[in-house]
């Protein structure tokens, strides 16, 4: 369903941007690297009423996508924020088209859009979930588990998450750390809902290795090939019984349309940052729902800001698989919101207070800030 009732325009006075360094509870390793500190940009939309908050989910280095913190900082402060501030008022639904002339930089656009959306909804006392069309008040919580020292260590890490109540496990894989790791988790825990994420680490030359994963009856294999390998993914999908799910490749509604037409994916991971914003994420949800294609909500180690927005998005009816919508404690000892998301019976609650439905912990925000600027109208 498209957004039923658009949000009204608001007067924007400026944007405050901060780079944060937030320590992780443990290093997070994927096929593309290891992070011990989450470097992220927090955006504050300055308005006549309540400020709005957003998050630019770039990482420090362009390894997951071409975007990275300093690039996003540059494009947001020099081009995107000034374009929005050149208008007397802005409605959240206008942002995609206002920023359309600037090619790419979707994570930067998404962070600004979320800040404006939060401010606009706070002004109307409507929650993000209500605005999106949420149909549930809590969402099932899956967890993304990084590559560990060895398969035994992986089993122990997964055991901890299962004990906490996570309802679905995703393990990161890469060449040389795939079949044995997956086998270890399957053998240890039987028929748990299990999926793997390769973050583009393979090529079609690895088809035999990837086909070995079929025997584990995984929910899906996420992004085995490169971002632009849309035809190769279709070829691979025909050779596997494991459903192919795309993450990195789905950069827009158009990319999703093309991937589905080609048979490159039968499941889609939706991440608002990667697709340029929560409104484009809803459009991809709508497309997939109409096509009967299951979707789930991905994550980018969001702070409490993006984590609240992800819970609201994941409450839409097409999100039929558990997402990477874990508790804040999965990644952080200390978050930047006063009431970080917690796991309750394997679920995370969809906030119901106005806007994001979470409040900023200003002392935590200050503690983690390493760079700050204000762009004024």
**H-state helical runs in the chain:** 69-75, 81-85, 95-99, 106-124, 128-132, 151-164, 179-189, 207-212, 230-239, 253-262, 272-275, 278-291, 304-314, 362-368
Query: What single DSSP character describes residue 78?
Result: I
Q: Helix 304-314 and helix 278-291: axis angle, to 10°?
A: 30
Query: Which of Mg ion, ligand OSB, none is residue 301 near (CB under 5 to 8 Å by kind)?
Result: ligand OSB
Whose Cβ is closer to Mg ion: residue 39's or residue 324's?
324
Q: Which is nearer to Mg ion, 178 or 197 (CB)?
A: 197
Q: Can residue 69 be called a binding residue for ligand OSB (CB under 6 A)?
A: no
Instruction: For Cα atoms 14, 20, 21, give the angle at the middle one, nearest 5 degrees.
Output: 175
DSSP 77: I
Q: Does 335 bind Mg ion (CB under 5 A)?
A: no
* Residue 300: CB minimum distance to ligand OSB, A: 5
Count the Cβ atoms, other than its own, within 10 Å of residue 277.
25
* Minimal distance, residue 260 CB to Mg ion, in Å: 18
* φ, ψ (nearest 5 deg) of residue 194: -135, 140
Taking CB under 6 A as the criterion, the residue among 199, 242, 249, 264 binding ligand OSB is 199
SS (H, E, C) 89-112: EECHHHHHHHHCCCCCCHHHHHHH
Question: Cβ of residue 210: shortest distance to ligand OSB, in angstroms?
Answer: 17
Nearest Cα neighbor of 25 from 12, 36, 40, 10 is: 36
Q: Is 271 in the active site?
A: yes
Instruction: Give the x/- contact pattern for ligand OSB in 314-343, rule: CB under 6 A.
Output: ----------x-x-----------------
64-101 exposure pattern, b = at least 16 Cβ within 10 A, e = fewer? bbebbbebbbebbbeebbebbbeeeebbbbbbbebbee
Confirm whether 109 is a catalytic residue.
Answer: no
Q: Are strands 52-56 and 33-47 parallel, antiparallel or unpaired?
A: antiparallel
Q: Which is nearer to ligand OSB, 300 or 313 (CB)?
A: 300
Nearest to ligand OSB of 122, 271 (CB atom): 271
Told to check if 242 binds ligand OSB by CB under 6 A, we report no
Binding flags for ligand OSB, 128-147, as an x/- string (CB under 6 A): ----------------x---
- Write the interaction track for Mg ion spanning residues 186-215; mark x where CB under 5 A is met and - where it is not: -----------x------------------
Based on the shown chain and the rule CB under 5 A, indicate whether residue 227 belongs to the binding site for Mg ion: no
Report if residue 64 touches ligand OSB, rule: CB under 6 A: yes
Nearer to Mg ion, 47 or 200 (CB): 200
Q: Which residue, 229 or 247, is less far from ligand OSB as judged by CB?
A: 247
Rounded (10°) angle between helices 230-239 and 253-262: 40
Please report how close the Cβ of residue 15 comes to ligand OSB at its closest, in angstroms. 24
Residues near 202 by beta carbon (within 8 Å), at least 6 away in sequence: 175, 209, 210, 224, 225
Among left, alpha and beta (phi > 0; psi -120 to 50; other), residue 226 is beta
Determine if residue 55 is left, alpha or beta; phi over 0 gives left, psi from -120 to 50 gives alpha, anything else beta: beta
255's tokens: 């990319």
51 vs 222 by CB, closer to Mg ion: 222
Non-local CB neighbours of 61 within 8 Å, separated by 6+ positions: 33, 68
Cα separation of 265 and 156, whole Å? 31
Q: How far is the CB of 136 from ligand OSB (least distance, A)?
A: 19
170, 172, 174, 254: the catalytic one is 172
* Catalytic one of 109, 170, 174, 271: 271
Least distance to ligand OSB, CB of residue 199, Å: 5
Residue nearest to Mg ion (CB): 247
Number of residues that bind ligand OSB (CB under 6 A): 11
Position among 16, 67, 130, 197 found at the interface with ligand OSB (CB under 6 A):
197
Q: Which stretch binds Mg ion (CB under 5 A): 38-46, 116-124, 243-251, 362-370?
A: 243-251
Tokens representing 211? 């086909």
- Minimum CB separation from Mg ion for residue 269, in Å? 6
Binding positions for ligand OSB, rule: CB under 6 A: 64, 144, 197, 199, 247, 298-301, 324, 326
Q: Catalytic amino acids? A: 172, 271
Binding positions for Mg ion, rule: CB under 5 A: 197, 222, 247
């Amino acid at each position: 369903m498209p957004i039923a009732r658009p949000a009204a325009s608001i007067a924007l006075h400026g944007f405050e941007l901060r780079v944060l360094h937030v320590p992780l509870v443990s290093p997070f390793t994927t096929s593309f690297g290891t992070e011990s500190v989450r470097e992220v940009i927090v955006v504050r939309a300055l308005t006549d009423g309540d400020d709005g908050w957003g998050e630019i989910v770039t990482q420090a280095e362009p390894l997951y996508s071409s975007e990275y913190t300093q690039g996003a900082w540059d494009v947001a402060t020099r081009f995107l924020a000034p374009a929005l501030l050149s208008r007397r008022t802005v409605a959240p639904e206008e942002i995609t088209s206002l920023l359309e002339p600037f090619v790419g930089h979707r994570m930067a656009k998404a962070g600004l859009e979320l800040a404006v959306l939060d401010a606009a909804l706070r002004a109307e006392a409507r929650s993000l979930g209500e605005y999106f069309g949420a149909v549930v008040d809590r969402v099932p919580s899956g967890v993304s588990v990084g590559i560990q020292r060895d398969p035994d260590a992986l089993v122990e890490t997964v055991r901890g998450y299962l004990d906490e109540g996570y309802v679905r496990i995703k393990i990161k894989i890469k060449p040389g750390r795939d079949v044995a790791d997956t086998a270890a988790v399957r053998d240890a825990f039987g028929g748990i809902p299990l999926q793997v994420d390769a973050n583009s680490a393979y090529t079609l030359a690895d088809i035999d290795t990837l086909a070995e994963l079929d025997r584990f009856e995984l929910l899906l294999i996420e992004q085995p090939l490169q971002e632009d390998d849309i035809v190769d993914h279709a070829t691979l999908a025909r050779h596997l019984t494991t459903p192919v799910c795309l993450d990195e490749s789905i950069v827009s509604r158009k990319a999703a349309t093309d991937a589905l037409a080609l048979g490159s994916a039968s499941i889609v991971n939706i991440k608002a940052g990667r697709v340029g914003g929560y409104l484009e994420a809803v459009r991809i949800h709508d497309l997939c729902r109409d096509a009967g294609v299951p979707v789930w909500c991905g994550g980018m180690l969001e702070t409490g800001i993006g984590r609240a927005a992800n819970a609201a998005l994941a409450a839409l009816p097409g999100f039929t698989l558990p997402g990477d919508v874990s508790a804040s404690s999965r990644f952080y000892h200390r978050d930047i919101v006063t009431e970080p998301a917690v796991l309750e019976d394997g679920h995370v609650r969809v906030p119901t207070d106005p806007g994001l439905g979470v409040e900023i912990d200003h002392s935590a925000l200050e503690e983690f800030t390493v760079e700050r600027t204000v762009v004024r109208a």
